[in-house]
Chain A
Amino acid sequence: MHDAHASRPGETAVPLTASAVLVNKVGLHARPSVKLTQCAKGFTAKIELALSADGPWTDAKSPVKVMRVKAPQGATLHFRVTGSDGKAALAAVLALVHDGFGEA
């Protein structure tokens, strides 16, 4: 479901981007937001998300800010990642979204 047009993998200065559709029941809700931010915090890379490919971008490590996005089910989440472990971070957050945050 995600476009793997990750621009130049391995390159750290240029942000990596990808998107995925929110499939879990209630969107990026309380529990999913907590899971996503917990996952994001496990990486040093700067991880941001947005509802549109051109932002506005939100810090994916802040549950307060992620909840403010109020992303509903069916919305496309765009991610933008910068940092040395960016590739792994992007794969991890995408996997979480695809998996419906484990709530299907």
Chain B
Amino acid sequence: MAEIHLTGRAASPGLAIGPVTMLTAAVARRTASDDPAQEAAALRAAIEGARAEIANQIKTIRGDVADILEFQVAMLEDDALAEPAYGVISDGITADHAWRLALDVEIAGYRAAEDEYFRARAADIVDIRDRVLAHLSGVDTVARITSGSIVAADDITPSAFLAADWSHGGAIALAAGSPSSHVAMLARARGAPMVVGLGPLSWNGQPPALALVDGDAGTVIFDPEPETRRLFEQRMAVANAAQAAADAACLESARTADGRRIAVLLNIAAPEDLAGLDPAICDGIGLVRTEFLFEAAQGLPDEDAQYAVYRRILEWAEGRPVTIRTLDAGGDKPIAGLTIDNERNPFLGLRGIRLSLARPEVFRVQLRALCRAAVHGALKVMLPMIAVPSELDRANALLDAEFTALRAEGIACAHPPLGIMVEVPAAALRAEDFGAAFYSIGSNDLTQYTMAAARDVGAVADLNDTGNPAVLALISRTVEAGRKRGVEVSLCGDAAADTRLTAALIATGLTILSVSPIAVARLKAAIAKVRS
């Protein structure tokens, strides 16, 4: 049998291998009565039985799991939930059928919600539905999951998850589901890898026996070939070793060997990059690239779509600072309908802030979305490719105008601090001339513009070196300008993740480094070895 590769969304990180348990809803049988009064009484007793059962479970647990179960108790205690069921029971429908009908309407209401958090509550209502049905039939319908197995199902309820032992491995592969579901939250807390949204799990004949779940990439392989399995097991061994080392250090804030505190921030390209990450591993987000929003198929994103994304990121950060960079299109990042085609030298052309100022109608939408998102956390806004102070001043005027307009319309908004990327040597040399709220050094462009060498041109790649004294001098100069003006200076380019440069970067006086999530553990380990 050929192996089956499925791709979904990562909901809980980690790798797992194990036998497959197909979770299918058990059909409970019960003998119904012809008397509506008896059926209503049976439903009432089943609801009370389910409520008492959960209330009993809550006594032994705390925290998130208790909150999830308390929600179920509150729903079961509310007569409004069963009201429609009692209505049709009096018309002669059996208790189990009536309950199912009523709850399915409720479930459909959640599934149709716009907000993913509300959509994800459908699984809780399914849980409530099935638990009461189990009490009605007197049969335990909560599926038992064998420890260490890969659960393959359409969706899974919190009860089914909680009934299993996840301390000896195991993972979850769902056709539907959501990273915002209570089960995903539980899976992350228990360290069970989980992938959702795999699409229909259908097999020709035999269901699969074995599965490999990659909760980092969001992929599942059913019935792997021996070679695929061997490579996966190798990856697991490496990941386990690295994880053990990183876990210990990752939640600690970074300090050099001589005790200097270095803030470690994250670079991300989309909110999906944060799935399954504990915000405690970082001191905030140092760079959100917003190009991904503009690369999606349907033209330029509107204000609400941008706002929703920015807000999700700010909410994830739980009050830690989040720096969002305005659109940095052009150069090597063309965007259909926005950037200029066939520029003779796109890296020296209309890119970054230059493009935004040339297309204010697009820029204004982004600034409005940012002002609205700013009420949800500690947002900072950063302008790319700034070369002269007037660019910052013009952007600032646009930001002021959008903020004032929003406030006049009575829309919740805040004015985020506006800082600049320092990536053009002109800006690094005269950083103190810019009235920026902060400086963030973009080491990739700063290096290529200083050394006049692109890193993707093999013949000159060795010249493209951030460790070159000329580049380090520009970084030092920027750090010094920040110190004089009393504003923060960070570095968010690839050099921050290059641990061979960590000591040199810290020697320039930098105290804030921003790297992709995967590099956090490595960078923290490298910082710990630095002695100035």
B71 contacts which of A30, A68, A72, A74 (Cβ < 8 Å)? A30
Q: How far is the CA of A72 from the CA of B315 in the complex (A)?
A: 13
Instruction: Please tell me if A27 contacts chain B, counting CB pairs below 8 Å.
Output: yes
A29 contacts which of B77, B114, B117 (Cβ < 8 Å)? B117
Chain B 343-383 interface mask (CB, 8 Å, partner A; 1/0): 00000000000000000000000000000000110000000
B81 contacts which of A27, A29, A64, A74 (Cβ < 8 Å)? A64
User: With a CB–CB cut-off of 8 A, which chain A residues contact B319?
Assistant: 104
Contacting A at CB under 8 A, from B411-443, are 412
User: With a CB–CB cut-off of 8 A, which chain A residues contact B121?
Assistant: 29-30, 67
CB distance from B111 to the nearest CB of A (A): 12
Instruction: Please tell me if A86 contacts chain B, counting CB pairs below 8 Å.
Output: no
Interface residues on B, range: 20 to 34
Q: How far is the CA of A37 from the CA of B77 in the complex (A)?
A: 11
Query: How many pairs of residues, A versus B, come closer than 8 Å at their CB atoms?
Result: 56
Q: How far is the CA of A102 from the CA of B469 in the complex (A)?
A: 51
User: With a CB–CB cut-off of 8 A, which chain B residues contact A31?
Assistant: 67, 70-71
Contacting B at CB under 8 A, from A25-39, are 25-27, 29-31, 33-34, 37-38
User: With a CB–CB cut-off of 8 A, which chain A residues contact B75?
Assistant: 63-64, 67
CB distance from A36 to the nearest CB of B (A): 10
Interface residues on A, range: 20 to 34
Instruction: Please tell me if B118 contacts chain A, counting CB pairs below 8 Å.
Output: yes
Q: How far is the CA of A61 from the CA of B373 in the complex (A)?
A: 31
Instruction: Please tell me if B237 contacts chain A, counting CB pairs below 8 Å.
Output: no
Q: Quick check: A26 and B81 within 8 Å, CB to CB?
A: no
Instruction: Please tell me if B124 contacts chain A, counting CB pairs below 8 Å.
Output: yes
Instruction: Please tell me if A12 contacts chain B, counting CB pairs below 8 Å.
Output: no
CB distance from B264 to the nearest CB of A (A): 24
| CB-based nearest A residue for B116 | A26
Q: Quick check: A29 and B118 within 8 Å, CB to CB?
A: yes
Q: Quick check: A70 and B113 within 8 Å, CB to CB?
A: yes
User: With a CB–CB cut-off of 8 A, which chain A residues contact B376?
Assistant: 73
CB distance from A9 to the nearest CB of B (A): 25
CB distance from A64 to the nearest CB of B (A): 4
Q: How far is the CA of A29 from the CA of B109 in the complex (A)?
A: 14
Q: Quick check: A34 and B80 within 8 Å, CB to CB?
A: no
Instruction: Please tell me if B332 contacts chain A, counting CB pairs below 8 Å.
Output: no
CB distance from B320 to the nearest CB of A (A): 13
CB distance from B375 to the nearest CB of A (A): 8
User: With a CB–CB cut-off of 8 A, which chain A residues contact B462?
Assistant: none
B109 contacts which of A25, A37, A68 (Cβ < 8 Å)? A68
User: With a CB–CB cut-off of 8 A, which chain B residues contact A67?
Assistant: 75, 118, 121
Instruction: Please tell me if A51 contacts chain B, counting CB pairs below 8 Å.
Output: no
Chain A 54-78 interface mask (CB, 8 Å, partner B; 1/0): 0000010011110110101110000
CB distance from A24 to the nearest CB of B (A): 10
Chain B 68-82 interface mask (CB, 8 Å, partner A; 1/0): 101100110110110
Q: Given that A30-B121, A62-B78, A64-B75 are contacting pairs, would A70 and B115 also be in contact in the complex, using a CB cutoff of 8 Å? A: yes
User: With a CB–CB cut-off of 8 A, which chain A residues contact B77?
Assistant: 63
Instruction: Please tell me if A6 contacts chain B, counting CB pairs below 8 Å.
Output: no
| CB-based nearest A residue for B319 | A104
B74 contacts which of A29, A37, A68, A70 (Cβ < 8 Å)? A37
Q: Given that A26-B117, A27-B115, A70-B113 are contacting pairs, would A64 and B80 also be in contact in the complex, using a CB cutoff of 8 Å? A: yes
Q: Quick check: A30 and B115 within 8 Å, CB to CB?
A: no
Instruction: Please tell me if A21 contacts chain B, counting CB pairs below 8 Å.
Output: yes
Chain A 7-48 interface mask (CB, 8 Å, partner B; 1/0): 000000000000001000111011101100110000000000
CB distance from A103 to the nearest CB of B (A): 10
Q: How far is the CA of A30 from the CA of B311 in the complex (A)?
A: 20
User: With a CB–CB cut-off of 8 A, which chain A residues contact B311?
Assistant: 73
Q: Given that A30-B121, A30-B124, A31-B67 are contacting pairs, would A72 and B74 also be in contact in the complex, using a CB cutoff of 8 Å? A: no
CB distance from A13 to the nearest CB of B (A): 26
Q: Quick check: A62 and B80 within 8 Å, CB to CB?
A: yes
Residue of B74, B113, B115, B121 with highest tally of chain A CB at under 10 A: B74
Q: Quick check: A72 and B412 within 8 Å, CB to CB?
A: no
User: With a CB–CB cut-off of 8 A, which chain B residues contact A25?
Assistant: 315
User: With a CB–CB cut-off of 8 A, which chain B residues contact A34?
Assistant: 70-71, 74
Q: How far is the CA of A88 from the CA of B258 in the complex (A)?
A: 56
Q: How far is the CA of A104 from the CA of B376 in the complex (A)?
A: 10
Q: How far is the CA of A7 from the CA of B80 in the complex (A)?
A: 30
Q: How far is the CA of A83 from the CA of B412 in the complex (A)?
A: 32
Q: How far is the CA of A62 from the CA of B117 in the complex (A)?
A: 20
Contacting A at CB under 8 A, from B57-107, are 67-68, 70-71, 74-75, 77-78, 80-81, 106
- The 4 lowest CB-CB distance pairs between A and B, nearest first, are A64-B80, A30-B71, A63-B74, A64-B78
- Beyond contacts A63-B74, A74-B412: 17 other A-B pairs, Cβ-Cβ < 8 A, are A25-B315, A26-B315, A27-B118, A30-B124, A31-B70, A34-B71, A59-B80, A62-B78, A63-B78, A65-B80, A70-B114, A70-B115, A70-B118, A72-B115, A73-B311, A73-B376, A104-B319
Seen from chain A, the residues whose Cβ lies within 8 Å of a Cβ on chain B are 21, 25-27, 29-31, 33-34, 37-38, 59, 62-65, 67-68, 70, 72-74, 104
Q: Can you name 12 A-B residue pairings with CB atoms under 8 Å?
A: A25-B315, A29-B118, A30-B121, A59-B80, A63-B71, A63-B77, A63-B78, A64-B78, A64-B106, A65-B80, A72-B114, A74-B412
